[in-house]
Amino acid sequence: MKGRNRPLVVTHKDAKTLMTNPSQSNLAVVILAAGAGTRMRSQTPKMLHEVAGRTMLEHALHAACGTHPDHVVVVTGHCRQQVQATIDSVNQRLVDDYGVAGIQTVVQKEQNGTGDAVATALAAPALRDFRGTIIVTTSDVPLIDAATLTSLVAEHTTRPQAAVTILTTTVDNPTGYGRIVRTHDGEVTKIVEEKDADTAIKSINEINSGVYAFDAELLGAAVNQLDTNNAQGEFYLTDVVGIARDLNKLVRAHRIDDAAIVSGVNDRVQLAAMNKEFNRRLREHHMRAGVTMVDPDSVFIDVDVHIEQDVVIAPNCQLRGNTTIATGCVIGPDTTLTNVTVDNDAAVIRTTATDSTIGARAQVGPYTYLRPGTKLAADGKLGGFVETKNATIGQGTKVPHLTYVGDATIGEHSNIGASSVFVNYDGVNKHHTTIGSHVRTGSDTMFIAPVTVGDGAYSGAGTVIKHDVPPGALVVSAGKQRIIEDWVKNNRPGTPAAEAAAACDATGTPPPATE
């Protein structure tokens, strides 16, 4: 591969110092993430489309780091700034969760094939003098997990150790995949890409997943022998198999039965199918762990969601992000929770909640909207058509219906009357309202922030609270009721209202009492 541009190497700012001396380690992972993914018809790079709440690249990173390698190198190219930003956003979590040294990226300046991409990776400081096993995987196979990669390495390193081990599977329709060509006694001889395959080879249904384990020294030598003498005019990584065979090196195939694990995503149809399959597996995992799903097909769960035993999930629920649900909870129907923590035995019905906390035995819903910053304590209640935002609501406090609570702190065992509004915005700034414990407010109370209502205070219905209320006080602001007799008769003659009033007078129905 003479004449290749020297790769641009980008080391993550939070990564540990990567060794440039001959490595004493024995496992590294290269993730190929340079392609344009044009079939997605998207301005977003293919590997940054999400499956089950993570980008496909993030799935690849978690799988790679789950093998506990000494180095992880991602090859970027198309839209590399976006790809780098995604890596930066998850790097520290990967370091913390898996103990890896951080993710290093290299840039493939021209997309000249998978062989060129791997050659770019091998020039990274972490791999320049590496000796051991290198896994090469892709960023568009989201069901690949650490267990699959670990089993590949185990097969590769079984004595006698192979020079190349290919992760393969068999499918009914192998169109589009490279085919695994074997001898009559089953030895792998080469991989033939779809565009280079003749009719006989196209009939083979054992396919190349695009995931490999290589001996590092063999890989380094082989990529320098690659050429572009093929239908696509690219450097094929698959040609390393033939080179290894020519050198009388051992080539193995690690075939897995579950073909979905190595299914790639190239367009929106495949993306939808992958989301469906990934979600099916997640639901099955949770149900086998003790979660009840009344209608599993209507439930969508992200991969980072945690659900404890004896949770019941009703139909039409979405559990997104880092949502955590403790034992004994009932969720749904018709509920979407994103980054929400729900403590034990709570009930959340027909609710949309984001970045919020719901306490033990709390009741939320129906038709309730919890916006970011909501913290509902144990035994609390947020009822029908209640909206909250940046609100801390104390233990046992109830906001039963038709209320907006924004930028507020409410103490324990208080009750906010129906149709109340925490008026927090003056057109320029947001202001805070503080309500004490054991407070009872009447329906249609307006809290004009900033304002404080002391412990044990009461308010009358329709009160507009503009000033602080001391503990134990009753606050009312409504004026004396005034009745104007015959107003409709005099001002709206001939209307249905006037006719109804006249009919009432004719039957002798007494007028309402006046003060």
Q: What is the pLDDT of residues 105-122, one digit of tens each?
A: 999 999 899 999 999 999
DSSP string, 301-341: E-TT-EE-TT-EE-SSEEEETT-EE-TT-EE-SSEEEES-E
Q: Is the pLDDT of residue 18 over 80?
A: no
pLDDT band per the 50, 70, 90 thresholds, residue 94: very high
Q: What is the pLDDT of residues 46-59, one digit of tens each?
A: 999 999 999 999 99
229 is in an annotated binding site: no
The predicted model gives 452-471 an average pLDDT of 97
Q: Are 401 and 364 in contact (CB under 8 A)?
A: no
The DSSP call for residue 298 is G
Identify the residue with better confidence: 447 or 478: 447
Question: What is the average pLDDT score of the chain?
Answer: 93
Q: What is the pLDDT of residues 136-171, one digit of tens each?
A: 999 999 999 999 999 999 999 999 999 999 999 999
Residue for token digits 């993306």? 271
272 is in an annotated binding site: no
Q: Which amino acid is at 507?
A: T
The DSSP call for residue 259 is G
> Containing H/E element for 383?
strand 381-384
Q: What 3-state DSSP class applies to 25?
A: coil
Neighbour tally for 506: CB within 10 Å:
8
219 is in an annotated binding site: no
Q: Active-site positions?
A: 401
Residue for token digits 């907006």? 404
Q: What 3-state DSSP class applies to 3?
A: coil
Q: What is the pLDDT of residues 208-240, one digit of tens each?
A: 999 999 999 999 999 999 999 988 899 999 999
CB-facing half-sphere around the CA of 316: CA atoms within 13 A: 7
Q: What is the pLDDT of residues 407-444, one digit of tens each?
A: 999 999 999 999 999 999 999 999 999 999 999 999 99
The DSSP call for residue 260 is G
418 is in an annotated binding site: yes
Q: What is the pLDDT of residues 286-312, one digit of tens each?
A: 999 999 999 999 999 999 999 999 999
404 is in an annotated binding site: yes
Q: pLDDT over 70 for what percent of the chain?
A: 94
Residue 23 main-chain phi, psi, to 5 deg: -75, 140
Each domain of the chain, given as residue ranges in start order, spans 8-262, 290-475, 486-515
- The pLDDT, as a whole number, for residue 480 is 85
pLDDT band per the 50, 70, 90 thresholds, residue 512: low
The pTM assigned to this predicted structure is: 0.89
The answer to whether the bond into 450 is cis (omega within 30° of 0) is yes
The predicted model gives 27-54 an average pLDDT of 96
How far is residue 187's CA from residue 180's CA, in Å, rounded to a whole number? 10
Domain 290-475 grouped into CATH 2.160.10.10: yes
Q: Is the pLDDT of residue 6 over 60?
A: no
Q: Are 60 and 137 in contact (CB under 8 A)?
A: yes
For the domain bounded by 8-262, which CATH number is listed? 3.90.550.10
Of the listed ranges 375-389, 450-464, 494-508, the least confidently predicted one is 494-508
What is the C-alpha end-to-end distance of the chain, expressed in Å? 99
